[in-house]
Chain A
């Protein structure tokens, strides 16, 4: 199994809503990532978890809250988002530094 899965595929939410994005991998990878990607731009790193501990937070606003419940799962909790947060949110995982990163298909988020 060389797949990273993400749910939901699409999400529309209001600025007062609370929602969560989910990511799962069963490759035994110990590094997991959240990226944000705007149209015609490269993926922009948000968070990195290494061995279930947050190792990088790229100064992401607190309205985005990551969680790594176990080595296979990664969540991104969303609260009080802004319309400019609308983007494709990508999850990725890899064995570790110096190895390829596998991306999920992404969640297309629209904030109204």
Chain B
């Protein structure tokens, strides 16, 4: 079935360290994945996306890795800053042609310790 999950509900890291947030998905036919950041009281903010024909994609301080063999997605944040504290959601494209939708994981709360 369609399900997107996260391995850890919370993650706490020291400021300046690197963070890795993991996500498992079950639909091997999914071809598009997104990471969102949601701060308290705000809407989700797009961070980075990746298509299934790629294994890795880099942005500014963020890297997304896709392992299709084990259906695993991860978000790496380099040199974390206090402003990175938020809930992070992965999402997977699902549905049939003309009726696609994003299926969200449960989220991981990232806390940055000073």
Contact = CB atoms under 8 A, between A and B. Distances in A.
Contacts of A97: 32, 93, 100
A97 B93 CA distance: 8
Nearest to B100: A97
Contacts of B44: 43, 90, 103
A98 B31 CA distance: 8
A58 to B, nearest CB: 8
Given A92-B43, A100-B46, 6 more contacts: A4-B43, A40-B107, A42-B106, A45-B102, A48-B99, A100-B49
A57 to B, nearest CB: 10
A103 B49 contact: no
Interface in B96-114: 98-102, 104-107
Given A56-B95, A97-B93, A48 B43 contact: no
A80 B73 CA distance: 41
A92 B89 CA distance: 15
B102 A106 contact: no
A64 interface: no
B98 A42 contact: no
A55 B46 contact: no
Contact of A90 (B43, B100, B105, B106): B43
A101 interface: yes
